[in-house]
Amino acid sequence: MTVPRIGISGRLAVVEGAERTGVNAAYVRAVTQAGAAPVILSPLVEGPQVAALLDGLDALVLSGGADVAPSHYGATPHPALGTIEPERDRFEFALLAEARARTLPVLAICRGLQLANVAFGGTLWQDLPSERAPHPQSVRRQDRVHDVRIAPGSRLAQVLGRTSHPVNSFHHQAIRDLAPGLRPTAHSHDGLVEGIETMDDWWFLGVQWHPEEFWQEAGAADQLLFVALAAACGVARA
């Protein structure tokens, strides 16, 4: 049986005085635990080499991280806008477009959900506390601080096997205007979109929380997202 290869979009950071490119280890652990082989994709790659990164891969995870630059959805930067990474924005927009063209299964997490919404024509709240209302935030990575309501019959409900789920939360931005072609599949108690999928047959799921952080929690339904992504690889190959 062929082990699926799943690409995970990375970031660039300075650690101990040196440039490092990679991802949080939890993404690698979650993908590995799902029976797939993780491949870290660096935003240092540009141009036609971005498409080449997906050669031989079976799926893509768009990881969390910095704010998406508001210029991509025609907005003026808000005073509370966090760090933006223009190189990573360009890289992940290109990755997503190529994955879409190849119909590779995609799991978009936190920033990844927001970036996908922008890529498909939507907008974001740049800072929830000042533009809308404060949203619950986790202190520790595994702190589940609120529930999400999941639409019955959605792909997300089918994967998690439930219509309510407790999640962690590490975001001050969120979907404002949902992009055409996307449907909301989960909402928080304060009405924020916490899950999205496309309206066609492409296997695409986006979640606002960080399911990878629960890779070592026995019986955590969150890990089923990575299991389903790995399973979708076989369908896509067929």
**Rounded CA gap, 80 and 83, in Å?**
10
Pull the structure tokens for residue 79: 């005073």
Q: Out of 171, 172, 210, 233, which one is annotated catalytic?
A: 210
- 233 counts as catalytic: no
**Rounded CA gap, 120 and 204, in Å?**
13
Q: For 154, which DSSP code?
A: S
**Rounded CA gap, 115 and 173, in Å?**
11
**Rounded CA gap, 182 and 100, in Å?**
13
Q: Which residues make Cβ contacts (< 8 Å) with residue 91, sequence separation at least 6? A: 9, 43, 45, 46, 50
- 72 counts as catalytic: no
**169 within 8 A of 209, measured Cβ to Cβ:** yes
Q: Out of 135, 212, 213, 233, which one is annotated catalytic?
A: 212
**Rounded CA gap, 115 and 63, in Å?**
10
Query: Which amino acid is located at 116 in the chain?
Result: A
**Residues with a known catalytic role:** 110, 210, 212
